Amino acid sequence: MTTEFRSAPLDPISTERLASSGLSLGLVDTDDAESFGRWLQAEARGFHSPVMSQAWTDEQVAAMAYRRTTGVWDDSVVDPASPVATVSSWIAELTVPGERSVPASLISAVSVSPTHRRRGIARSLLEAELRTADAAGVPVAILTVSEATIYGRYGFAPTALSTDLTIDTTRAQWTGPTASGRLHFVTPEEIREDGLAIIERVRLHSPGQVQFDGLLWLRLIGLVVNDENSGRNLRVARYDDADGVSQGFAVFTVTETGTNYSAHRLDLKFLVAAADEAYAGLWRFLIEMDLVSEIVAPLRPLDEPLAWQVADYRAVATTSRRDHLWARILDVPAALAARTYAASGRIVLEVEDPLGFADGTFQLDIATDGTAVVTSIEGDLPEDADALSLGVAELGALYLGGTSAQTLVRAGRITELTAEAAMLVDAAFRSVRAPYLSIWF
């Protein structure tokens, strides 16, 4: 599916819409280093990043060749060979409740040049991506967003949140379990293969996680050209259990914050653990590190256990909480049947989708083992069903089990068609672990 998706035909609706404004929609030949390099430079400009070095461009050309890469061109500009808008996408597995996964279209690099704002380009790009994914049989589209006001109009909604933590290590005396394994400092090169294997081992444990691609992984551990300085500053600590099996690792930097040399700040870039003991061992190692008084840990899950493992709960402060992963359902039966549920029953969802992908009425028959059969229905509602009326964005918010249907009813975003339906939907849709995505893409 991935190869076919990369070269799928251009969406005719968006192509015609852009052509009427003197613009052309096209696919980038990612095997053509020159044209792909121009696209990459345009993407960097769209996100106000520096002009890429040739070495960095060459590296990205090689690392991102598998993605579907689309641009918009304007022949009237000074540099007509460079696109004025960009988007890329690829198919990867998205973890859903029940330690399962579903194919998803990961949409990234959405940018429009400031010289071409307010011309409907972003709309054309995003709707084209959705129609292409739908035609390819991909049930869900997802993205991580820089601006939260844009994507709701296309049926996306936040489905996995994250928190940023600041930890005062002078107050955070460790009271959690004592790990029996060992910590080792390793280089990014030494963790390159083993680390990715650990991530994949635990991916199905957290709804919202996705398969890492090569570039995202190498960027995380500082093994890309443009992060050369960052890579030199990175430290990697690996936890091995008592049998010598690698069970987790942490990636971080340590920085002086002033004249007090005993008050360094540790910036945690990433932490993953395949076992509770590894989690405890890694966090204790970080909290008890000499000459560090503060740990800054962005992009952590809502249900982080850490505050319950230190003597002073308030030593682990949440400095922000934000939407992170946004989801858009394209194929309701396929998306809902891919996950499992925490309570059995019959649920009916009347879904409204202005773009038409998910429009309809759908019945979920959930068995006692949590699996569901999902069918489209017409006519009167079954008498034994719990029924809601909602938009496709609200369905995306509910999908991974991190948003309450009752909250959305109170917010006026969902309508109950039968009494207490939202409460019963919450019982079925809830996830034991808070949905969480550990990276940006």
Q: Is 27 exposed, middle or buried (0-12, 13-18, 19+ CB in 10 A)?
A: middle
Joined together, the tokens standing for residue 45 give: 């400009």
User: Within this chain, do residues 213 and 91 fall inside the same structural domain, yes or no?
Assistant: no
Question: 325-349: b or e for each residue (b if 16 or more CB lie within 10 Å)?
Answer: bbbbbbbbbbbbbbbbbbeebbbbb
Long-range pairs, 424-428, Cβ under 8 A, ≥24: 424/343, 424/345, 424/347, 424/386, 425/347, 425/386, 425/388, 425/398, 427/342, 427/343, 428/341, 428/342, 428/343, 428/344, 428/345, 428/347, 428/364, 428/366
User: Within this chain, do residues 187 and 208 fall inside the same structural domain, yes or no?
Assistant: yes
The answer to whether residue 214 scores a pLDDT higher than 90 is: no
User: Within this chain, do residues 374 and 255 fall inside the same structural domain, yes or no?
Assistant: no
Question: Positive or negative, the Cα torsion across 426, 430, 436, 437?
Answer: negative
pLDDT digits (tens, 9 = 90+) for 6-47: 999 999 999 999 999 999 999 999 999 999 999 999 999 999
Which amino acid, one-letter code, is at 183?
A: L
User: Within this chain, do residues 172 and 132 fall inside the same structural domain, yes or no?
Assistant: no
- C-beta of residue 63 within 8 angstroms of C-beta of residue 107: no
pLDDT digits (tens, 9 = 90+) for 369-412: 999 999 999 999 999 999 999 999 999 999 999 999 999 999 99
User: Within this chain, do residues 144 and 102 fall inside the same structural domain, yes or no?
Assistant: yes
pLDDT digits (tens, 9 = 90+) for 351-373: 999 999 999 999 999 999 999 99
Max Cα–Cα distance, the chain, nearest Å: 73
> pTM of the predicted model, to two decimals?
0.95
Final residue in a domain of this structure, among 116, 139, 155: 155
User: Within this chain, do residues 87 and 200 fall inside the same structural domain, yes or no?
Assistant: no
- 435 assigned to some structural domain: no
Q: Range of 404's domain? A: 332-429
User: CATH no. for residue 377?
Assistant: 3.30.1050.10
> Closest Cα partner for 324 from 269, 397, 395?
397
Residue 388's pLDDT is 98
- C-beta of residue 344 within 8 angstroms of C-beta of residue 384: no
The arithmetic mean of pLDDT across residues 216-231, rounded, is: 76
The answer to whether residue 1 scores a pLDDT higher than 70 is: no
- 325 assigned to some structural domain: no
pLDDT digits (tens, 9 = 90+) for 296-332: 999 999 999 999 999 999 999 999 999 999 999 999 9
- 300 assigned to some structural domain: yes
∠75-76-79 over CA atoms, to 5°? 70
Residue 258's pLDDT is 81
pLDDT digits (tens, 9 = 90+) for 120-134: 999 999 999 999 999
User: Within this chain, do residues 180 and 313 fall inside the same structural domain, yes or no?
Assistant: yes
Rounded distance between C-alpha atoms, residue 2 and residue 94, angstroms = 14
Confidence at 213, pLDDT banded by 50, 70, 90: confident
Residue 260's pLDDT is 85
Rounded distance between C-alpha atoms, residue 232 and residue 71, angstroms = 34
Residue 227's pLDDT is 53
- 282 assigned to some structural domain: yes
Confidence at 147, pLDDT banded by 50, 70, 90: confident
User: Within this chain, do residues 302 and 226 fall inside the same structural domain, yes or no?
Assistant: yes
Final residue in a domain of this structure, among 111, 127, 155: 155
Residue 24's pLDDT is 98
Which amino acid, one-letter code, is at 133?
A: A
Residue 375 β-bridge partners = 363
User: Within this chain, do residues 114 and 214 fall inside the same structural domain, yes or no?
Assistant: no
User: Within this chain, do residues 62 and 134 fall inside the same structural domain, yes or no?
Assistant: yes
Mean pLDDT over all residues of the chain? 95
Confidence at 230, pLDDT banded by 50, 70, 90: low
- 437 assigned to some structural domain: no
The arithmetic mean of pLDDT across residues 220-232, rounded, is: 72
Confidence at 231, pLDDT banded by 50, 70, 90: low
∠83-87-92 over CA atoms, to 5°? 150
- 94 assigned to some structural domain: yes
Q: In sequence order, which residues have a C-beta less than 8 Å from that of residue 117 and are 6 or more positions away?
A: none
Rounded distance between C-alpha atoms, residue 8 and residue 101, angstroms = 23
The arithmetic mean of pLDDT across residues 60-66, rounded, is: 89
User: Could you tell me what percent of the chain has a pLDDT over 70?
Assistant: 98
* Total domains present in the chain: 3
The answer to whether residue 228 scores a pLDDT higher than 80 is: no
User: CATH no. for residue 296?
Assistant: 3.40.630.30
Q: What are phi and psi of 21, to 5 degrees?
A: -105, 15
- 351 assigned to some structural domain: yes
User: Could you tell me what percent of the chain has a pLDDT over 90?
Assistant: 89
Residue 215's pLDDT is 85
Q: Is 18 exposed, middle or buried (0-12, 13-18, 19+ CB in 10 A)?
A: buried
Final residue in a domain of this structure, among 278, 299, 320: 320
User: Within this chain, do residues 280 and 374 fall inside the same structural domain, yes or no?
Assistant: no
Asked which of 82-91, 141-150, 413-422 is least confident by mean pLDDT, the reply is 141-150
Residue 298's pLDDT is 98
- 326 assigned to some structural domain: no
The answer to whether residue 346 scores a pLDDT higher than 70 is: yes
Confidence at 148, pLDDT banded by 50, 70, 90: confident
Rounded distance between C-alpha atoms, residue 211 and residue 90, angstroms = 11
User: Within this chain, do residues 151 and 173 fall inside the same structural domain, yes or no?
Assistant: no
Which amino acid, one-letter code, is at 113?
A: S
